[in-house]
Structure 1
Amino acid sequence: MKTSFVAVLIIIMALNTVRPINCDLIASMSSYRLYQTTRQCEDGPPNGFVCIGCEALAVCIKRNDRWETIPVEVCDKNNGFVCNVIEGACSNKTGPCNPINNGTFSCTSVGIFPDPYDCQLYHICLVNNNNIVSSPVECRDGSAFNPITGDCSLNINSDVCLDYGFTCTKPGDMGPWKFNPNIFYVCKADDDGSERVIYPELYKCDPNEVFVEDKCVSKDVTTTEATTEMTSDWTSETTSEQTSTITPPPSIVCTRPGVYPDPQSCLHYYYCNSQLQSERFKCPEGTFFDRLYLACLIGSC
Protein backbone atom coordinates (compact mmCIF):
# COMPACT_ATOMS: atom_id res chain seq x y z
CA MET A 1 0.00 0.00 0.00
CA LYS A 2 2.81 2.37 0.90
CA THR A 3 4.62 1.59 -2.37
CA SER A 4 1.47 2.36 -4.39
CA PHE A 5 1.03 5.70 -2.61
CA VAL A 6 4.62 6.73 -3.41
CA ALA A 7 4.16 5.77 -7.05
CA VAL A 8 0.96 7.82 -7.34
CA LEU A 9 2.67 10.80 -5.66
CA ILE A 10 5.57 10.67 -8.13
CA ILE A 11 3.12 10.59 -11.06
CA ILE A 12 1.21 13.62 -9.70
CA MET A 13 4.44 15.57 -9.22
CA ALA A 14 5.55 14.75 -12.76
CA LEU A 15 2.24 15.91 -14.23
CA ASN A 16 2.44 19.21 -12.33
CA THR A 17 6.07 20.06 -13.07
CA VAL A 18 6.26 23.65 -14.26
CA ARG A 19 8.66 24.33 -17.12
CA PRO A 20 11.28 26.76 -15.79
CA ILE A 21 12.04 30.04 -17.51
CA ASN A 22 15.27 29.93 -19.45
CA CYS A 23 17.48 32.41 -17.63
CA ASP A 24 20.70 31.66 -19.47
CA LEU A 25 22.27 35.12 -19.50
CA ILE A 26 25.17 33.93 -21.59
CA ALA A 27 22.83 33.31 -24.53
CA SER A 28 21.61 36.89 -24.21
CA MET A 29 25.04 38.53 -24.37
CA SER A 30 25.78 41.24 -26.91
CA SER A 31 28.33 44.00 -27.19
CA TYR A 32 26.43 45.67 -24.35
CA ARG A 33 27.57 42.93 -21.92
CA LEU A 34 24.03 42.26 -20.78
CA TYR A 35 25.09 39.76 -18.15
CA GLN A 36 26.49 42.74 -16.22
CA THR A 37 23.93 45.40 -17.06
CA THR A 38 20.83 43.40 -16.05
CA ARG A 39 19.06 45.38 -13.34
CA GLN A 40 19.11 43.94 -9.84
CA CYS A 41 16.45 44.41 -7.20
CA GLU A 42 18.99 45.68 -4.70
CA ASP A 43 19.75 48.61 -6.99
CA GLY A 44 16.21 49.96 -6.77
CA PRO A 45 15.05 49.15 -10.31
CA PRO A 46 13.47 51.87 -12.50
CA ASN A 47 9.70 51.53 -12.84
CA GLY A 48 9.87 48.64 -10.37
CA PHE A 49 10.85 46.13 -13.07
CA VAL A 50 13.90 43.99 -13.72
CA CYS A 51 14.87 41.79 -16.63
CA ILE A 52 15.72 38.14 -16.15
CA GLY A 53 18.24 37.93 -18.92
CA CYS A 54 16.40 39.24 -21.95
CA GLU A 55 13.72 36.62 -21.85
CA ALA A 56 11.40 37.64 -19.02
CA LEU A 57 10.12 40.73 -17.22
CA ALA A 58 9.90 40.52 -13.43
CA VAL A 59 8.94 42.60 -10.41
CA CYS A 60 10.90 42.86 -7.18
CA ILE A 61 9.43 41.74 -3.86
CA LYS A 62 11.22 42.01 -0.52
CA ARG A 63 10.35 39.23 1.88
CA ASN A 64 12.12 38.27 5.11
CA ASP A 65 14.75 40.93 4.37
CA ARG A 66 15.57 39.28 1.05
CA TRP A 67 14.78 40.49 -2.45
CA GLU A 68 13.00 38.10 -4.78
CA THR A 69 12.17 38.42 -8.47
CA ILE A 70 8.76 37.27 -9.62
CA PRO A 71 8.41 36.87 -13.42
CA VAL A 72 5.30 38.58 -14.76
CA GLU A 73 5.83 38.13 -18.50
CA VAL A 74 7.83 35.69 -20.60
CA CYS A 75 8.92 37.31 -23.85
CA ASP A 76 8.21 35.77 -27.24
CA LYS A 77 11.77 35.85 -28.58
CA ASN A 78 10.77 33.90 -31.70
CA ASN A 79 8.75 36.93 -32.80
CA GLY A 80 11.37 39.47 -31.77
CA PHE A 81 10.06 40.42 -28.31
CA VAL A 82 12.60 40.88 -25.50
CA CYS A 83 12.57 42.44 -22.05
CA ASN A 84 12.61 46.26 -21.97
CA VAL A 85 12.72 47.91 -18.53
CA ILE A 86 11.83 51.42 -19.73
CA GLU A 87 8.77 50.09 -21.57
CA GLY A 88 7.91 47.93 -18.56
CA ALA A 89 7.04 45.08 -20.90
CA CYS A 90 8.32 42.67 -23.49
CA SER A 91 8.94 44.81 -26.53
CA ASN A 92 10.35 44.65 -30.04
CA LYS A 93 11.72 48.18 -29.75
CA THR A 94 15.44 48.81 -29.94
CA GLY A 95 17.06 48.58 -26.51
CA PRO A 96 19.82 46.86 -24.51
CA CYS A 97 18.33 43.45 -25.30
CA ASN A 98 17.66 44.39 -28.92
CA PRO A 99 20.58 46.61 -29.93
CA ILE A 100 20.98 48.27 -33.30
CA ASN A 101 24.04 47.26 -35.33
CA ASN A 102 24.69 44.36 -32.95
CA GLY A 103 25.28 46.78 -30.09
CA THR A 104 28.11 48.69 -31.75
CA PHE A 105 28.06 52.37 -30.78
CA SER A 106 28.81 54.74 -33.65
CA CYS A 107 31.31 57.43 -32.64
CA THR A 108 30.79 60.66 -34.57
CA SER A 109 33.59 62.53 -32.77
CA VAL A 110 36.04 62.15 -29.93
CA GLY A 111 34.34 62.56 -26.55
CA ILE A 112 31.98 60.97 -24.06
CA PHE A 113 28.45 59.97 -25.05
CA PRO A 114 25.54 58.37 -23.19
CA ASP A 115 24.25 55.09 -24.47
CA PRO A 116 20.89 55.77 -26.17
CA TYR A 117 19.19 52.77 -24.56
CA ASP A 118 21.05 51.84 -21.37
CA CYS A 119 21.34 54.49 -18.65
CA GLN A 120 24.10 52.54 -16.90
CA LEU A 121 26.34 52.54 -19.93
CA TYR A 122 28.33 55.28 -21.64
CA HIS A 123 30.91 55.40 -24.40
CA ILE A 124 34.33 57.04 -24.52
CA CYS A 125 35.18 57.70 -28.16
CA LEU A 126 38.92 57.76 -28.75
CA VAL A 127 41.27 57.97 -31.72
CA ASN A 128 42.98 54.67 -32.47
CA ASN A 129 45.13 54.30 -35.59
CA ASN A 130 43.42 57.31 -37.18
CA ASN A 131 39.98 55.80 -36.49
CA ILE A 132 37.52 56.89 -33.82
CA VAL A 133 36.53 53.86 -31.77
CA SER A 134 34.18 53.38 -28.84
CA SER A 135 35.23 52.12 -25.43
CA PRO A 136 32.09 51.21 -23.40
CA VAL A 137 32.09 51.90 -19.66
CA GLU A 138 29.46 50.54 -17.28
CA CYS A 139 28.22 52.25 -14.12
CA ARG A 140 28.03 49.90 -11.14
CA ASP A 141 26.16 49.37 -7.88
CA GLY A 142 22.88 50.96 -8.94
CA SER A 143 24.49 54.11 -10.33
CA ALA A 144 23.63 55.66 -13.68
CA PHE A 145 25.49 57.83 -16.15
CA ASN A 146 25.11 61.59 -15.76
CA PRO A 147 25.27 63.20 -19.23
CA ILE A 148 26.02 66.58 -17.64
CA THR A 149 29.02 65.66 -15.50
CA GLY A 150 30.25 62.72 -17.58
CA ASP A 151 30.37 60.31 -14.64
CA CYS A 152 28.19 57.79 -12.78
CA SER A 153 26.79 60.27 -10.27
CA LEU A 154 23.07 59.49 -10.77
CA ASN A 155 21.07 56.47 -9.63
CA ILE A 156 18.82 54.26 -11.71
CA ASN A 157 15.68 55.95 -10.40
CA SER A 158 16.76 59.20 -12.06
CA ASP A 159 14.92 60.53 -15.10
CA VAL A 160 17.70 59.29 -17.40
CA CYS A 161 16.61 55.71 -16.59
CA LEU A 162 12.87 56.31 -16.75
CA ASP A 163 12.63 57.86 -20.20
CA TYR A 164 14.45 58.02 -23.51
CA GLY A 165 16.59 61.04 -24.34
CA PHE A 166 15.38 61.13 -27.94
CA THR A 167 12.26 60.89 -30.10
CA CYS A 168 12.64 59.12 -33.43
CA THR A 169 9.51 58.70 -35.52
CA LYS A 170 11.10 58.95 -38.98
CA PRO A 171 14.55 59.32 -40.55
CA GLY A 172 15.78 62.89 -40.40
CA ASP A 173 14.17 63.72 -37.06
CA MET A 174 16.62 65.57 -34.85
CA GLY A 175 16.77 67.35 -31.54
CA PRO A 176 18.77 68.03 -28.39
CA TRP A 177 19.49 65.12 -26.08
CA LYS A 178 16.82 65.47 -23.43
CA PHE A 179 19.26 65.30 -20.52
CA ASN A 180 22.05 67.44 -22.00
CA PRO A 181 21.34 69.72 -24.99
CA ASN A 182 25.06 70.04 -25.71
CA ILE A 183 24.52 66.61 -27.26
CA PHE A 184 22.10 66.20 -30.15
CA TYR A 185 20.82 63.31 -32.23
CA VAL A 186 19.85 62.67 -35.84
CA CYS A 187 17.47 59.78 -36.51
CA LYS A 188 18.55 57.24 -39.10
CA ALA A 189 16.97 54.14 -40.60
CA ASP A 190 18.46 50.68 -40.88
CA ASP A 191 16.90 47.93 -42.96
CA ASP A 192 18.30 44.42 -42.70
CA GLY A 193 15.79 43.02 -45.18
CA SER A 194 13.35 41.76 -42.58
CA GLU A 195 12.85 44.77 -40.34
CA ARG A 196 13.24 48.53 -40.63
CA VAL A 197 14.55 50.18 -37.47
CA ILE A 198 14.80 53.92 -36.78
CA TYR A 199 17.49 54.85 -34.27
CA PRO A 200 19.39 57.94 -33.06
CA GLU A 201 23.00 58.75 -33.89
CA LEU A 202 24.60 61.09 -31.36
CA TYR A 203 26.68 64.21 -32.03
CA LYS A 204 28.13 67.02 -29.93
CA CYS A 205 28.07 70.78 -30.18
CA ASP A 206 31.09 72.78 -29.00
CA PRO A 207 31.45 72.94 -25.19
CA ASN A 208 29.68 76.29 -24.76
CA GLU A 209 26.83 75.53 -27.15
CA VAL A 210 23.42 73.84 -27.05
CA PHE A 211 21.38 72.38 -29.88
CA VAL A 212 18.26 74.36 -30.84
CA GLU A 213 16.00 73.24 -33.70
CA ASP A 214 18.61 72.38 -36.34
CA LYS A 215 21.77 74.14 -35.19
CA CYS A 216 24.23 74.58 -32.36
CA VAL A 217 24.01 78.01 -30.69
CA SER A 218 25.77 79.63 -27.76
CA LYS A 219 24.17 78.55 -24.49
CA ASP A 220 24.40 82.18 -23.35
CA VAL A 221 21.86 83.16 -26.00
CA THR A 222 18.45 83.34 -24.31
CA THR A 223 16.50 85.33 -26.86
CA THR A 224 14.12 82.46 -27.55
CA GLU A 225 11.91 80.61 -25.14
CA ALA A 226 13.23 77.26 -26.36
CA THR A 227 16.81 78.17 -25.62
CA THR A 228 15.93 79.46 -22.16
CA GLU A 229 13.96 76.33 -21.35
CA MET A 230 16.69 73.95 -22.46
CA THR A 231 19.45 75.86 -20.75
CA SER A 232 17.43 75.66 -17.53
CA ASP A 233 16.98 71.91 -17.94
CA TRP A 234 20.65 71.50 -18.66
CA THR A 235 21.80 73.25 -15.51
CA SER A 236 19.13 71.84 -13.22
CA GLU A 237 20.87 68.48 -12.78
CA THR A 238 24.26 69.84 -11.81
CA THR A 239 25.26 68.95 -8.29
CA SER A 240 25.57 71.34 -5.39
CA GLU A 241 29.30 70.70 -5.44
CA GLN A 242 29.52 72.02 -8.97
CA THR A 243 27.33 75.05 -8.46
CA SER A 244 29.08 76.03 -5.25
CA THR A 245 32.53 75.93 -6.83
CA ILE A 246 33.79 79.45 -7.42
CA THR A 247 37.26 78.75 -8.74
CA PRO A 248 37.11 76.69 -11.95
CA PRO A 249 39.43 73.68 -12.22
CA PRO A 250 42.70 74.15 -14.10
CA SER A 251 42.64 73.52 -17.83
CA ILE A 252 45.18 72.25 -20.32
CA VAL A 253 46.30 73.62 -23.67
CA CYS A 254 44.90 71.45 -26.45
CA THR A 255 47.26 70.83 -29.34
CA ARG A 256 45.08 68.23 -31.06
CA PRO A 257 41.74 66.48 -30.41
CA GLY A 258 41.73 63.57 -28.00
CA VAL A 259 41.59 62.48 -24.37
CA TYR A 260 44.40 63.50 -22.01
CA PRO A 261 45.25 62.87 -18.34
CA ASP A 262 44.80 65.61 -15.78
CA PRO A 263 48.32 66.53 -14.60
CA GLN A 264 46.98 67.34 -11.12
CA SER A 265 44.52 64.50 -10.50
CA CYS A 266 44.50 60.81 -11.42
CA LEU A 267 40.72 60.81 -10.97
CA HIS A 268 40.14 63.33 -13.77
CA TYR A 269 40.93 63.67 -17.44
CA TYR A 270 40.48 66.18 -20.25
CA TYR A 271 38.77 65.90 -23.59
CA CYS A 272 39.94 68.20 -26.40
CA ASN A 273 37.42 68.67 -29.20
CA SER A 274 38.01 69.50 -32.86
CA GLN A 275 38.10 73.21 -31.99
CA LEU A 276 40.93 72.50 -29.51
CA GLN A 277 38.72 73.44 -26.56
CA SER A 278 39.09 71.36 -23.41
CA GLU A 279 36.52 69.85 -21.03
CA ARG A 280 37.42 68.28 -17.70
CA PHE A 281 35.71 65.03 -16.64
CA LYS A 282 35.82 62.84 -13.55
CA CYS A 283 36.12 59.06 -13.69
CA PRO A 284 33.29 57.03 -12.10
CA GLU A 285 33.64 56.19 -8.42
CA GLY A 286 35.99 53.27 -7.85
CA THR A 287 38.02 53.97 -10.99
CA PHE A 288 41.01 56.06 -11.97
CA PHE A 289 42.34 57.46 -15.24
CA ASP A 290 45.10 55.30 -16.65
CA ARG A 291 47.71 57.30 -18.57
CA LEU A 292 48.70 54.29 -20.68
CA TYR A 293 45.23 53.18 -21.79
CA LEU A 294 43.78 56.71 -21.68
CA ALA A 295 40.63 55.37 -20.04
CA CYS A 296 39.00 55.03 -16.61
CA LEU A 297 39.94 51.65 -15.16
CA ILE A 298 38.69 49.91 -12.02
CA GLY A 299 41.04 50.46 -9.10
CA SER A 300 42.76 53.29 -7.27
CA CYS A 301 45.59 55.65 -8.10
Structure 2
Amino acid sequence: MSSTTPSYFNCPSVGKFPDPVSCTIFHVCVNAIFGLVDVPYDCPSGTQYDSVNAECTIDPVQCPGEPTLVCKKAGIYKNPYHCGRYYRCTWRYISNRYEIKQFRCPDFTEYSEQSAKCIKSETCQQNNTDFKCVQAGKFPVQENCKEYFECSNGLNGLIEQRKSCDLYQLFDRHLGRCRNECLVKCPIDDDETEIEEGKVFIKELLEI
Protein backbone atom coordinates (compact mmCIF):
# COMPACT_ATOMS: atom_id res chain seq x y z
CA MET A 1 0.00 0.00 0.00
CA SER A 2 1.35 3.41 -0.90
CA SER A 3 1.29 6.13 1.71
CA THR A 4 -0.67 9.33 1.11
CA THR A 5 -0.46 12.72 2.80
CA PRO A 6 -3.93 14.18 3.50
CA SER A 7 -3.80 17.05 6.02
CA TYR A 8 -7.43 17.04 7.15
CA PHE A 9 -7.37 14.00 9.47
CA ASN A 10 -6.81 14.30 13.23
CA CYS A 11 -6.08 11.14 15.21
CA PRO A 12 -8.66 10.55 17.97
CA SER A 13 -6.55 7.80 19.61
CA VAL A 14 -4.13 5.01 18.80
CA GLY A 15 -5.61 2.64 16.22
CA LYS A 16 -6.83 2.20 12.67
CA PHE A 17 -9.48 4.55 11.28
CA PRO A 18 -11.38 5.18 8.02
CA ASP A 19 -10.82 8.36 6.08
CA PRO A 20 -13.72 10.85 6.49
CA VAL A 21 -13.77 11.66 2.78
CA SER A 22 -12.37 8.79 0.72
CA CYS A 23 -13.30 5.09 0.62
CA THR A 24 -9.85 4.09 -0.58
CA ILE A 25 -7.80 5.64 2.25
CA PHE A 26 -7.40 4.62 5.89
CA HIS A 27 -5.31 6.01 8.76
CA VAL A 28 -3.05 4.33 11.28
CA CYS A 29 -2.52 6.46 14.39
CA VAL A 30 0.57 5.74 16.49
CA ASN A 31 2.14 7.21 19.61
CA ALA A 32 5.18 9.43 19.09
CA ILE A 33 7.31 11.66 21.34
CA PHE A 34 5.18 14.73 20.67
CA GLY A 35 1.80 13.00 20.59
CA LEU A 36 -0.25 11.02 18.11
CA VAL A 37 1.01 10.73 14.55
CA ASP A 38 -1.21 9.95 11.56
CA VAL A 39 0.17 7.51 8.98
CA PRO A 40 -2.28 7.45 6.02
CA TYR A 41 -2.40 4.54 3.56
CA ASP A 42 -4.05 3.83 0.21
CA CYS A 43 -5.92 0.54 -0.21
CA PRO A 44 -4.61 -1.63 -3.08
CA SER A 45 -6.04 -0.78 -6.49
CA GLY A 46 -9.55 -2.18 -6.94
CA THR A 47 -10.30 -2.34 -3.20
CA GLN A 48 -11.95 -0.04 -0.68
CA TYR A 49 -11.59 0.31 3.08
CA ASP A 50 -14.22 -1.51 5.13
CA SER A 51 -14.51 0.56 8.31
CA VAL A 52 -16.64 -2.09 10.05
CA ASN A 53 -14.07 -4.87 9.66
CA ALA A 54 -11.01 -2.58 9.45
CA GLU A 55 -9.62 -4.00 6.20
CA CYS A 56 -9.33 -3.29 2.48
CA THR A 57 -11.67 -5.50 0.46
CA ILE A 58 -13.03 -6.06 -3.03
CA ASP A 59 -16.53 -6.43 -1.57
CA PRO A 60 -18.89 -3.42 -1.43
CA VAL A 61 -18.36 -1.14 1.57
CA GLN A 62 -20.18 1.72 3.22
CA CYS A 63 -18.42 4.87 2.03
CA PRO A 64 -18.29 8.23 3.88
CA GLY A 65 -21.51 10.17 3.44
CA GLU A 66 -23.62 7.10 2.64
CA PRO A 67 -26.60 6.23 4.88
CA THR A 68 -25.74 3.79 7.66
CA LEU A 69 -26.87 0.18 7.29
CA VAL A 70 -28.83 -1.03 10.30
CA CYS A 71 -28.71 -4.43 12.03
CA LYS A 72 -31.60 -5.12 14.40
CA LYS A 73 -30.93 -8.87 14.49
CA ALA A 74 -28.69 -11.43 12.83
CA GLY A 75 -29.63 -12.27 9.25
CA ILE A 76 -29.29 -11.31 5.59
CA TYR A 77 -31.00 -8.17 4.30
CA LYS A 78 -31.42 -6.18 1.11
CA ASN A 79 -29.38 -2.99 0.96
CA PRO A 80 -32.08 -0.28 0.78
CA TYR A 81 -29.70 2.20 -0.88
CA HIS A 82 -28.10 0.00 -3.58
CA CYS A 83 -30.46 -2.24 -5.53
CA GLY A 84 -27.80 -4.79 -6.48
CA ARG A 85 -26.41 -5.34 -3.00
CA TYR A 86 -27.34 -7.23 0.14
CA TYR A 87 -25.68 -7.49 3.54
CA ARG A 88 -25.23 -9.96 6.37
CA CYS A 89 -25.51 -9.06 10.06
CA THR A 90 -23.52 -11.27 12.44
CA TRP A 91 -23.36 -10.65 16.19
CA ARG A 92 -19.80 -10.68 17.56
CA TYR A 93 -19.69 -11.28 21.30
CA ILE A 94 -16.03 -10.26 21.65
CA SER A 95 -16.61 -6.77 20.24
CA ASN A 96 -20.22 -6.65 21.51
CA ARG A 97 -21.60 -5.42 18.19
CA TYR A 98 -22.96 -6.55 14.85
CA GLU A 99 -20.51 -7.20 12.04
CA ILE A 100 -21.84 -6.02 8.68
CA LYS A 101 -20.55 -7.51 5.43
CA GLN A 102 -21.93 -6.52 2.03
CA PHE A 103 -22.21 -8.64 -1.14
CA ARG A 104 -23.13 -8.02 -4.78
CA CYS A 105 -25.88 -9.69 -6.76
CA PRO A 106 -25.17 -10.56 -10.42
CA ASP A 107 -25.86 -7.88 -13.04
CA PHE A 108 -29.53 -7.11 -13.66
CA THR A 109 -30.70 -8.81 -10.45
CA GLU A 110 -31.56 -7.60 -6.96
CA TYR A 111 -31.81 -9.31 -3.60
CA SER A 112 -35.26 -10.43 -2.44
CA GLU A 113 -35.65 -10.94 1.31
CA GLN A 114 -38.86 -12.88 0.68
CA SER A 115 -37.16 -15.53 -1.48
CA ALA A 116 -33.72 -15.08 0.18
CA LYS A 117 -31.86 -14.87 -3.15
CA CYS A 118 -31.01 -12.54 -6.03
CA ILE A 119 -33.84 -12.41 -8.54
CA LYS A 120 -34.07 -10.94 -12.03
CA SER A 121 -34.82 -7.23 -12.16
CA GLU A 122 -35.74 -4.89 -15.02
CA THR A 123 -34.88 -1.78 -13.02
CA CYS A 124 -31.62 -2.71 -11.24
CA GLN A 125 -28.85 -2.37 -13.81
CA GLN A 126 -25.68 -1.97 -11.80
CA ASN A 127 -23.34 -3.19 -14.57
CA ASN A 128 -20.69 -4.85 -12.39
CA THR A 129 -17.22 -4.86 -13.90
CA ASP A 130 -15.41 -8.08 -14.80
CA PHE A 131 -13.60 -9.77 -11.93
CA LYS A 132 -9.91 -9.01 -11.44
CA CYS A 133 -7.60 -10.37 -8.75
CA VAL A 134 -6.46 -7.63 -6.38
CA GLN A 135 -5.70 -9.79 -3.32
CA ALA A 136 -5.05 -13.46 -2.58
CA GLY A 137 -8.04 -15.62 -1.67
CA LYS A 138 -11.17 -17.27 -3.02
CA PHE A 139 -14.04 -15.17 -4.37
CA PRO A 140 -17.51 -15.96 -5.78
CA VAL A 141 -18.46 -15.57 -9.42
CA GLN A 142 -21.56 -13.49 -10.12
CA GLU A 143 -23.53 -15.98 -12.18
CA ASN A 144 -23.79 -19.04 -9.93
CA CYS A 145 -22.83 -20.70 -6.66
CA LYS A 146 -20.92 -23.59 -8.21
CA GLU A 147 -17.84 -21.74 -9.41
CA TYR A 148 -15.38 -19.38 -7.75
CA PHE A 149 -12.23 -17.40 -8.51
CA GLU A 150 -8.99 -18.37 -6.79
CA CYS A 151 -6.31 -15.68 -6.61
CA SER A 152 -2.82 -16.82 -5.57
CA ASN A 153 0.56 -15.13 -5.36
CA GLY A 154 2.93 -15.84 -8.26
CA LEU A 155 6.38 -14.67 -9.28
CA ASN A 156 4.95 -11.86 -11.42
CA GLY A 157 1.95 -10.97 -9.29
CA LEU A 158 -1.44 -12.50 -8.62
CA ILE A 159 -2.57 -15.55 -10.60
CA GLU A 160 -6.30 -15.83 -11.38
CA GLN A 161 -8.02 -19.19 -11.85
CA ARG A 162 -11.72 -19.90 -12.27
CA LYS A 163 -12.58 -23.19 -10.55
CA SER A 164 -15.62 -25.31 -9.71
CA CYS A 165 -16.55 -26.92 -6.43
CA ASP A 166 -16.74 -30.73 -6.31
CA LEU A 167 -19.96 -32.57 -7.16
CA TYR A 168 -22.72 -31.93 -4.60
CA GLN A 169 -20.86 -28.90 -3.27
CA LEU A 170 -21.49 -25.16 -3.64
CA PHE A 171 -19.32 -22.14 -2.95
CA ASP A 172 -20.26 -20.46 0.34
CA ARG A 173 -19.98 -16.71 -0.33
CA HIS A 174 -19.93 -15.92 3.38
CA LEU A 175 -17.18 -18.36 4.37
CA GLY A 176 -15.23 -18.19 1.10
CA ARG A 177 -14.98 -21.94 0.48
CA CYS A 178 -16.79 -24.94 -0.99
CA ARG A 179 -19.17 -26.82 1.30
CA ASN A 180 -21.82 -29.53 1.04
CA GLU A 181 -24.69 -28.07 -1.00
CA CYS A 182 -27.21 -28.73 1.78
CA LEU A 183 -25.22 -26.38 4.05
CA VAL A 184 -25.02 -23.49 1.59
CA LYS A 185 -27.71 -20.86 1.10
CA CYS A 186 -27.24 -19.81 -2.53
CA PRO A 187 -28.48 -16.24 -3.22
CA ILE A 188 -28.47 -16.80 -7.00
CA ASP A 189 -31.43 -18.06 -9.03
CA ASP A 190 -31.69 -21.84 -8.45
CA ASP A 191 -32.09 -22.63 -12.17
CA GLU A 192 -28.68 -21.17 -13.00
CA THR A 193 -26.99 -23.10 -10.20
CA GLU A 194 -28.65 -26.34 -11.32
CA ILE A 195 -27.40 -25.76 -14.88
CA GLU A 196 -23.83 -25.33 -13.64
CA GLU A 197 -24.17 -28.42 -11.40
CA GLY A 198 -25.33 -30.41 -14.43
CA LYS A 199 -22.40 -29.22 -16.54
CA VAL A 200 -19.92 -30.40 -13.91
CA PHE A 201 -21.72 -33.74 -13.54
CA ILE A 202 -21.61 -34.39 -17.32
CA LYS A 203 -17.96 -33.35 -17.46
CA GLU A 204 -17.05 -35.81 -14.70
CA LEU A 205 -18.97 -38.61 -16.43
CA LEU A 206 -17.03 -37.99 -19.65
CA GLU A 207 -13.74 -38.14 -17.74
CA ILE A 208 -14.50 -41.57 -16.23
TM-score w.r.t. the length of structure 2 is 0.38
TM-score w.r.t. the length of structure 1 is 0.29
More helix by share: 1
